[in-house]
Amino acid sequence: MIRFTPRKTTGIWSFEGVYLQSSIFKNPIIPLKSYTMNTKLNYLTFVGITCLSLFTACAKNGNNSLANFQPEVANITDNFQLQATNVTQVSTTIDYNWTNSGAMATIDKSGILTSGTARILIFDKNGTIVSTSDLKVTGAETTAIGVAGLWKIRLELSKYDGTLNVRVQKK
């Protein structure tokens, strides 16, 4: 059992005497730690941040990364490829920077979406969306005309199950 014993001394809240009480021994009290906080507000802030951290850590459901599925990514000028097999229950958004020396690109989608949703968004150098594509539909398509340079390829997955296979090439 952990017990906090507050004690007020001249304007400072002291939380001293954090003890561990064991039922194995008769009445042993082992001091674990002692610390002081200047105000009650500091203590409440500390408790609030701790609770928020625990809540955030516990609230993550499912898998939020492709890392477990050993994705293969080839990202060179004018050619981007992504493949990951046997992906299960992934919800994530991943941005890849890709250099396109042209004003357009061809997107080839040949993956298999078993469940969930997946889409790819492509932004040109100026941040303008030149393509939004649902990965449920396979085949090839072309982006709108954009500005050559450093483009962004955004992969958005929600509870995705399946195999990802996407290639983006300068047109």
| CATH architecture assignment, domain 67-170 | Sandwich (2.60)
Tokens 């492709």, residue?
66
Q: How far apart are CA 46 and CA 39, in angstroms?
A: 11
- Copy the structure tokens of residue 23: 């039922």
- The pLDDT tens digits for 122-150 are 999 999 999 999 999 999 999 999 999 99
Spatial CA neighbour of 111 closest among 92, 75, 91, 135: 135
Instruction: List, for residues 146-164, the tens digit of each pLDDT value.
Output: 999 999 999 999 999 999 9
- Is 0.75 surpassed by the pTM of this model? no
pLDDT of residue 65: 84
Q: Domain segments of the chain: what residues?
A: 2-59, 67-170
